[in-house]
Amino acid sequence: QVQLVESGGGLVQAGGSLRLSCAASGRTLSSYAMGWFRQAPGKEREIVTAISRSGGRTYYADSVKGRFTISRDNNQNTVYLQMNSLKPEDTAVYYCAATISVVITTARLYDYWGQGTQVTVSS
């Protein structure tokens, strides 16, 4: 079992930055690929970015490429999402998730999910 806790969300103006953290407990994070997903009101949950167990492979949704960066510190059992140049359309609840699968872009393959953290970007 892995427990995931997100933090770092909040209210920011368009063009601003936030850094989300996802702290894991229960098992070592290095056993899992990690992903960040988001869900806006009235919309389906979508993948934002993901990173392989070693950190050597990443994926970014087109909507966040060049603005968001995922990273992980396996020693600290933490995954980060640096979000720059935020836009109002980035407003959503952001979730981190863990998977043992080598496929890191499919939500249904993720085994563990955090409770989410709200990100609100004002225009």
pLDDT digits (tens, 9 = 90+) for 35-44: 999 999 999 9
State mean pLDDT over 48-72. 96
Encoding tokens for residue 46?
């979508």
* Distances, alpha carbon 114 to alpha carbons 34, 36, 47, 76, 84, in Å: 11, 10, 14, 17, 22
Mean pLDDT to the nearest integer, 27-31: 87
Q: Are strands 10-13 and 117-122 parallel, antiparallel or unpaired?
A: parallel
Predicted confidence (pLDDT) at residue 26 exceeds the cutoff of 90: no
Non-local (6+) Cβ contacts of 62 within 8 A are none
